[in-house]
Structure formats: C-alpha cells, structure tokens
Structure 1
Amino acid sequence: MARHAEGIHRRNFLTGGAAAGGAALLTGTALASPSAAADQAVPAAGPITTVAPGDKRYKDLVQGWNQRWSSAPERICLAETTAQVRSVIQAAATAGKRLTVRSGGHCFEDWVFNPDVQVILDMTRMDRVYFDPDKNAVCVEAGAQVLNVYERMYRTWGVTIPAGTCFQVGVGGHVSGGGWGLLCRQMGLVVDHLYGVEVVCVGADGTATVKVATREPNDPNRDLWWAHTGGGGGNFGVVTRFWFRSPGATGTNPAKLLPQPPAEVFLHATAWPWADMTKDRFARLVKNFGDWHTKNLKSGTVNDNLTSVLWLNHKSAGYIGLVTQVDATVPDAQKILDDYLGAITAGLDVAQEPMTTPMGEVAAMPELAAPRRMPWLQAARYIGTTNPTLNDPTFRSDFKSAYYRKTMPTAHIDEFYRHLTRDDLVNPTAAVQVSSFGGQVNAVAPDATAAPHREAAFKAAWGLWWNDPAAEDISLRWIREFYHGVFAATGGVPVINDVTDGAYVNYPDIDLSDPKYNTSGVPWHDLYYKSGYARLQKVKQAYDPRDFFRHSQSVKLPTT
C-alpha cells in the first residue's frame, strides 16, 4: 500500500505519550545513559507556530489520512528546527502532557490522532533535503514527503533512496518502520542506506536531549541508529533528521554516496476480469505469482531488476490487476518482463485486458497495457500521484499484513477466493495487495537492521476504504473474517514458520494485540520484530526510560 508506511508501501508516524514532568529545559544536559557522549548541543528555540482550538487551521491539523481517527488536542505545534522540537517535548514532559507526533499523516491506527492526545507535534515544516558535509551524507528532515525527497535527490545529484511510492508519505515514520518501495529488489530497503539519525529523547530525569546516532561500529549510540532501521515510529524519541549514505560508498561527492535509479523503467499494467475467474484459475494466478517470487527470493540474478504488485480485488471491482516495473537500462530488459509475464500467466487460460478500473488504492492505467518506457522520475511521480484514495477527505480505512516465505498453501488461497467473492460486501476498494520482496532485500542479514523479514519472498496487505460510517461494521467484519480465516490454522495471524514470516509494522494492526483475534500465543511484537524485540526493549530502557513516547503498540520497557 502506499505506504507504506509509510505504503505501494506505507505509512506510519513517530508518536509520543504522557510522562510525569518535573525538569526544566537544560540546554546541553546529558542523559545518564550510554549515549551521553553524543548529546547534541543545539541553539535556543525561536518562536514556534502554535494552533489551538478556534484557529481556522485547527480542524485541518487534528486528523490524518485515515478519517477513522481524530483528536482534540490543546494545541498543535509546528516545529521548524530541532531546538523547537526539543522545546515542545520538554514543555510536554514537564507538564505531564500526552504528546504525539505527525510526520506525514498516514498512520493506519490511532497512534497519532486519538482522544487522549493533548499536544500534537507537527513535523511537516521540517522538510529540507540537503547535503551535509559534516556527516558526508544526504540529510533528510523527518517531515519531508517521499516524492519531494525523490525530486530533490534526483534532480540535484542523480541519486535516490529505495523508499515508498505514495507521494504524501512522511519520511519520519516510513523510514523508522523499514520502508518498502518499487526499487526494493534492486536496491534493498530504505534503511539499508541509512547512515545516521538525530533523535530528541527524554531521560530518566525528565530532561529532553538531542542524540545523534550512526551506524559506525564505535558510535556509543549505535543501538539507537539500529532501532530506527525498522523498529517503528513512536518508540524511543522524535526523529528530526535522517542522514543517508550507502554502506561502502567512498569520497565526498553526494552523487556517489547513494544508489542511482535507472535512467528509464518499463511500466506495465494488465487485468483479468472476475467474470472469467473460476476458483481454479484464481488459484493458478496466485500460485504462479508465489512460485516466481519463491524461486527468485535470493539476490544476484537479472530478476533483481523487476518488482511487481498483484491486486487481488473483491469481485465487485470487476477485475484483478498486475502492475510491474523493470529497469529498462539493463540488458534484455524487455525479455525480463516478458519472461515474468509468461510465468505469471502460465496455464491461466484467461485473456489479459487493459487495466481500465482502479485497483485497491491505485488508479486505472489502461495506457500501460503495452509496456511503456519512461524516465524513472516521471514513473515515480506517476505511480505516486495517480492514487484516488490519497486525496479523498471522507475515507475511513482498515489494513492488515503478512509476509510469505514461499507460495501460499492451497488452504490460504481457498480462503482468499472465498472472501473476495463474498456477496455481503460490495466495495470495489476492498483488496489484497501482494507485493514483491526478496532480491537485494534478502541480501542483508535479518539482524543487521531492525527490519527482520529478510527471508520473505513477498508481502500481502489487506485493505479497504469506506466513507459512509454505516459501512464500518461490515467493512471491519469482512477484513477480520478474511484475515483470520486465512490464518485459522495458526491462531488467526501469520506466525513465523516455514510459510509465513509475521507482519509489517508500517501497516499497523491493533487486532494483533487482541486475544479475541490473535489466539496463536505469539505476541504482536514478535510478529512485527521477530527476535529483535528484546534488543528494541533495551534501546527503549536506555533512551526512553520513562516511557514518554508510547502508543497502543509501542515497544514496552523490559520488565526485569
């Protein structure tokens, strides 16, 4: 999903929580923690733009992309500098106010916008992208949106980061959750290129301090860097800046420090009518997709240059769709695409048609029925902005996710078919987006970053949108019965085994925490973080010992 997290891809924010205050703002005061040596001296904060109830801007700033969630805070603070961020956090900590943080606005759950929040720290004015010679890295402020990052990086230096597709997704949550995008099989995850992070934390004495953490082996804050390579937003502090430089990059020229995207890509979109899709044909299509990705999980082949999304829509949409991107500059690029399409359609016996209807959250793309070669930045903008759900201010939504390590078993596919053909729901947006993983994602060790799902071949994301509040009950019932039906044999969730590999934190799902829906005995945090959760708890203890930054699925302080 677009997302993310934040989306095709997704959406997530850094968030915060309440803490009993009691310490005044002490510029430069160090935490009593292993990170004290890297506390960052920052200048005094200047005036901060604040919006309170009664201000005409208020209603625009107390909701995000998912209209299910809203808040009524005392104020929204729009920070422009790290010093201002620290000032807002210090004031909230001292006063014992519940604080949450908005990066882009795409969080699926109520981690940012909920009735308990008293202060929202809005990061959207911190959106600069620039080269930082001190870090020898490209710096991206946490409020920047994905498409703006692409535009700035590529137009200025000819480089990119393999982040998400939806143009509005904020970098803060997207990166912290280990963001995924259409270049992942070729370049890995966005966090594979993360060099450093600047974070405002709250210490045991209630003092807000600024930490800088990098991946350097001798960095005393290295675990804080690691936690932001997939540990999710809202757990340890507020990220103000990210620095990007690929491992192994040398020199001081920013054009050489990050990957260069393809000069051109092939984009292709096709569809198959539900009217011709029998249960056996449906199973063949889903198995073909799974078989190709299982076979091509490992990196190092020409197929690293291809990423694809299969839209398994509810039958009321009329069609199932497939969108594929291939690096058009590699040798035999057309053959890579043709071979892939041949593998996906093998034995299907259903004629392909142009994608003339929207698919889940993406628009119709009939002009891509024949593969179209276009410059990469144009393609990124096209995919990122032709999304009818992004700008609809009436939509409510719900999402779920699962990683698959290999082709779906027949029992899962049968459940997919059953729920996608149900007659009690008529909603063309209801769909499961099945997306490529593997390739260069798989080339990184599962514990090298906090994004642990490196052995997954593909990812499934359930989602639907509705704008009539009366449709909420049937919408939630459909997605819950669908998801828990697929994973009925494993307690209603995608446990870590030889078939499935947990869930994606940038598609947060509060039902994973509910014993009514998760009867597996596997806690939600193991589905998101696998064996890395204990390490994340240690980071939490070191950098947020008061649990100031928290939400309904935040990393918990260790109990011992």
Structure 2
Amino acid sequence: MKSPGHRINRRVLLSGTAGVGGAAVLAGAAPAAAHVDPATGPTIGPADPRYALLTTGNNQRFVARPEYIRMIHSTEDAVSALRAAATAGKRVSVRSGGHCFTDLACNPDVQVILDFSDLNSVDYDPELGAFAIQPGARLINIYEKLYKGWGVALPAGVCYSVGAGGHVAGGGYGLLSRQHRLVVDHLYAVEVVTVDAGGRVRIVRATREITDPNRELWWAHTGGGGGNFGLVTKYWFRSPDATGSSPAAQLMSPPSEVLLNAVAIRWADLDQAKFSRLMKNYGAWHEANSSPDSPYHYLSSIVNVGVRAAGGIGVLTQVDATVPNADQLLKDYVAALNDGVGVQLYPQPAMPQFATARRLPWMRATRLIGTSNVTVNDPTLRAAHKSALIRRNFTDQQVAALYTRLTDPAYTNPRAMVFLFSYGGRINDVSPDATASAQRSSAFKMLFQNLWDDPGQDAVNLAWLRGLYADFFAATGGAPELDGQADGCYINYADADMADPAFNTSGVPWQTLYYKGNYARLQRAKQKWDPSNFFRHSLSIRPA
C-alpha cells in the first residue's frame, strides 16, 4: 500500500474563466441529453420539468427559485460548475440528500443549486487504505455496500434516504454510536473544492494525519456543519484503531445480529403523574449510563413521545445481540422505564411483530427501522425542528412543559412529536476538541418535530413547536444551556430560530450553542479556505 500521507497532501490548483461551456450554464440552458458527457451533469433551468422537484428538499416549507440547478457527476464537474458560478458572482447552495431541516440549501437568495445526489459511489481505496464515499450516497446504500462487500459499517443515522454529504459534516449519529462513536470519529480524509480570495477554484485533500498541512480542513468537517468551507466531493473512512492492510480491518464492524424490541404506551393509560415518572425514568437511566464504560453502551433506544392526538408513545430499542447478556440488558432497560409507572406495553402499530423482542441480522434490522416510519419518511410534508443535547435528567419544570403542550386538547395535529435518542456511551470517550463535534458529555439527544401538509397551517404548527421549546427551556432563555443540565444544540438538526433573538433570548449566540468552544477554530478554518465567505447560509460559519 502506498503511504496515505504521501498521496493525500498534494494540491491540485485549478483556475481560469468559465469559457464557452460556462456561458451556456450561466444562461441556465440545459444541454441536449444526447450529447452530455457522462462525467458532466445536466443543467436544469425553470423550463425543465425536473425543476420543481429540484428546488426543494424533504421539507416542503423551503423552496428556492434558482436560475438553474447543476447536477454534479464528478469532482472535475464540481470544479467547472463552481468556477462558472463564482466567475458570474452567483449565490450558491449545496445539496446531497435534501434532508436539511431548515433553509440552508433552499431559500430565495440562492441563484444556483449544486446537487450532488448523483455523485454517490461507495468503494474501497487501496492507495489510502480507506473507504471512499461520495456525498450523494444515501445511508441505506452505504450500509448495504459496506456490509455486503467487506462486513464493515459506519455508526450513521436511521433515516435511510439521508445523503452522506451533510450527514457526515455535521457529526453523524445513529443506533450504533453508543458502541462505536460518531461517524466523524472514523473520518480519515476529505476532498473539497474551494474558492480562494482571488476567486480561484482548487481541489484540496486533507487528512487527520498530524503532519498534513491541510489537517484543519479535515477537522472542520468533523462536525462543523455542511455548506461552510467548499464542495465536498469525497469522504474517506478508516477507524482510528484500524490495523493491518485488509479492507475488512479498516473500519468498524457492526454486530452480526441485533435484538430488536418495539412497544407502545397508550396516552389513555397515562395521567400527569405517570407521564412525569416515565420521563424521569428515561432521563435517570440515560444519565446513569452515559459513560463509555457503562455495560449498557451496547444498547440504544429511540422514544417517540407523540402528542395525545397521536394516541401513544413508542419505544424502539436495539441491543447488540452478540453480547452474552443482551436479553437481560433489554429487559432491565424496559423495566427501568416502566418502574413506578406500571402501564401495559402494547405492540407498536408500525412494527407489531417486535412487541416481543426478536433477533435479526443487523442489516435486516437496519432496513426495517429505516423504512418503517411512514410519517418521518414522507417527502411531501412541511416541517419544523428543534434540538437539544441533554447531560442530566429532566427538571420538573421541563416535564411539566412537555405534558402541558403534548396533551393540549386544542391542538390536534397527530404528527407533532418529541424524539428522545440515546446518546453518550463511547461518544463521550472523545475529547470535545478532538473533532468539531464538541458535545461529548451528553446522555441523550432531543428532537422537537412537527410535520403537516397544508401551507395554511404553517402559523399554528410553528407556534405550537416554538411554544413547546420556549416553555421547555424557559429557565435558560428559550435555548439549552451549555455544560449544565443541557449542552446546546445539534447542527444536523439546524434551526434558524437559534440565530433570532426573538426566540433565543438566552444571550448565548447560536454559534456557541452548536459548536461551543470550537467555533473560533472553525472560523480560522473558514478564513483560510473560504476567506470571501462564498459559501454562506443562515447558519454558516463566519470567517475570523
């Protein structure tokens, strides 16, 4: 194998004008399909029937009206597309899977969308000794290719259609993270197309090698968020503890089998006291088992706390079934949640066959979990999201706020919910500054989510979610505090309200809520790699 350090530190400098091809692109004219180079993606303008599909992502609240969308098919294609846009002074946004929660990719200011969804290969790179994944690869395809090809995996997200591009840059978290850390803890290298202060476009590769002069660009992509520093055209993954030269030894291996359990608690069986006890049980268990050496770091759970109109609360739990006491770990966890609550546990409507825990091959369970939630996977809905990372158990005030809002008889949208995700475990076995993902002492993660389909219901549904979040964090100015009971927000659940003093009255800047003490270092990386702030959006890193 060739030395990764030798191969990766080279820079390719590409500069020049848009040329004749660029002039056609800037006019928004789509080239004739029969003559398009397969390495060059089509340019899609307003007259193209594909335009409407590509001006929005999964959240239908946010729609762009760009002059054109450029589909990117190769690194060289990204270079030429970026050079054309930069030369013409066009405002650019970047998209891979389209799952951005807010308007970072699709908003009225965007003049050009660079879409990487077709740049989606997953392969092993023997020269770098790492797995190369392009930004448009969807998580389910990444899992399938890595596992079937080499028996390895990444501890990435549950939603099957999320693209690697933004997911990785924001940290990357999933049901295997308590056991195998975040996705970025396995990131070895990144290839980025950047624009310097003089408008020159170049390809830069950066690794985690201490001797790499571009290392800070690698570090910025370990949780610094998407759309900040340039166009990511490839990620390479190798686990830090990898040994030897076999591809199967270069990345973490998932459990061959998992124990899966899905149960539901009916709202009809809960009064305020029982609901409070259930929430406090959840918080206490996760606080007690958030350390890397907890025997429960093999277990991860998702609790969907729906509004009363939804009928119930769902508890999905996955345990590494190769652990000798997997069944007992699961029984202990479910018993701890129901301790003092004493309600009957029912089958979940979407997964009734798992009311009694069953063993499944990991890949089969991953497919099932990723595709079973019809509401979350519906790409036609409008949505709003907010997040928090929680270090210690819920306060009484927080539980009361949840109960009041979730059981409000005047609010009847059944697709409003609060997700609770197990966090901690080996995620917390990494220094806050080792990667840009700074929250390394949390016990669980919260996603406040609301989904609806009628634009006429925007105001009422946004008001409900904002009211819930404001009430939940009333003691800390409408935002999760840092290094206390809470620990800020998760950038992959981006929420522009955190940059608005009308909603975030905490006095803590949104940059600090998402990045904590790492923000200044991210700014220095931005200053070096994107000094003109060419890549920008409502929650982008500002140059130092």
Alignment TM class, shorter chain as reference: over 0.9
- Of residues 219, 225, 228, the one that matches 2:221 is 228
Percent identity of paired positions between Structure 1 and Structure 2: 50
Task: Name the counterpart of 1:15.
Answer: none
Change (3 A) 1:303 1:393: closer
Q: Please report the TM-score for the alignment, with normalisation by the length of structure 2.
A: 0.92
Task: Name the counterpart of 2:239.
Answer: 246
- Of residues 175, 181, 191, the one that matches 1:182 is 175
Task: Name the counterpart of 2:487.
Answer: 501
- Of residues 168, 188, 200, the one that matches 2:193 is 200
| TM-fit CA distance, 1:301 | 3.3
- Equivalent position amino acid for 1:236 in 2: F
- Equivalent position amino acid for 2:201 in 1: A
- Of residues 529, 536, 541, the one that matches 1:550 is 536
Matched, 1:540 2:526: yes
Whole-angstrom distance in 1 between the partners of 2:218 and 2:380: 37
8 Å CA contact retained: 1:65, 1:390: no
8 Å CA contact retained: 1:425, 1:474: no
Task: Name the counterpart of 1:109.
Answer: 102
8 Å CA contact retained: 1:402, 1:460: yes
3-state SS of the aligned residue for 1:506?
A: helix
Superposition RMSD on alpha carbons, in Å? Answer: 1.4
Whole-angstrom distance in 1 between the partners of 2:329 and 2:113: 47
8 Å CA contact retained: 2:265, 2:312: yes
Task: Name the counterpart of 2:288.
Answer: 295
Task: Name the counterpart of 1:392.
Answer: 378
- Of residues 468, 474, 477, the one that matches 2:460 is 474
- Equivalent position amino acid for 1:433 in 2: F
3-state SS of the aligned residue for 1:424?
A: coil
Change (3 A) 1:382 1:284: same
Whole-angstrom distance in 2 between the partners of 1:290 and 1:539: 37
Change (3 A) 1:113 1:469: same
Change (3 A) 1:99 1:230: same
Whole-angstrom distance in 2 between the partners of 1:454 and 1:391: 29
Q: What is the total number of aligned residue pairs between the two structures?
A: 513
- Of residues 118, 128, 137, the one that matches 1:125 is 118
3-state SS of the aligned residue for 2:433?
A: coil
- Of residues 402, 422, 429, the one that matches 1:443 is 429
| TM-fit CA distance, 1:47 | 3.8
Task: Name the counterpart of 1:463.
Answer: 449
Matched, 1:374 2:360: yes
Matched, 1:149 2:123: no
Matched, 1:489 2:482: no
Residue ranges of structure 2 left out of the alignment (5+ in a row): 1-14, 20-36
Task: Name the counterpart of 1:262.
Answer: 255
Residue ranges of structure 1 left out of the alignment (5+ in a row): 1-21, 27-43, 357-363
| TM-fit CA distance, 1:242 | 0.3
Whole-angstrom distance in 1 between the partners of 2:459 and 2:339: 39
Task: Name the counterpart of 1:3.
Answer: none
- Equivalent position amino acid for 1:129 in 2: V
- Of residues 49, 66, 77, the one that matches 1:73 is 66
Runs of 4+, deviation exceeding 2 Å: 22-26, 44-48, 389-394
Deviations 1:478-536 (A, max 9, x none): 00010011111111100203200000100011110111111111000100000000000
Matched, 1:140 2:133: yes
- Equivalent position amino acid for 1:224 in 2: L
8 Å CA contact retained: 1:98, 1:119: yes
Whole-angstrom distance in 2 between the partners of 1:352 and 1:146: 31
| TM-fit CA distance, 1:387 | 2.4
8 Å CA contact retained: 2:290, 2:425: yes
Q: Please report the TM-score for the alignment, with normalisation by the length of structure 1.
A: 0.90
Task: Name the counterpart of 1:57.
Answer: 50
Whole-angstrom distance in 1 between the partners of 2:39 and 2:287: 54
More relative contact order in 1 or in 2 (CA 8 Å, sep 6+)? 1
3-state SS of the aligned residue for 2:387?
A: strand
- Equivalent position amino acid for 1:338 in 2: K
Deviations 1:305-329 (A, max 9, x none): 1000111110001111110000111
- Equivalent position amino acid for 2:425 in 1: G
Whole-angstrom distance in 2 between the partners of 1:54 and 1:544: 33
3-state SS of the aligned residue for 1:100?
A: strand
Whole-angstrom distance in 1 between the partners of 2:18 and 2:431: 41
Task: Name the counterpart of 1:34.
Answer: none
Change (3 A) 1:425 1:23: farther
- Equivalent position amino acid for 2:134 in 1: E
Task: Name the counterpart of 1:360.
Answer: none
8 Å CA contact retained: 2:436, 2:518: yes
- Of residues 179, 184, 191, the one that matches 1:191 is 184
Task: Name the counterpart of 1:429.
Answer: 415
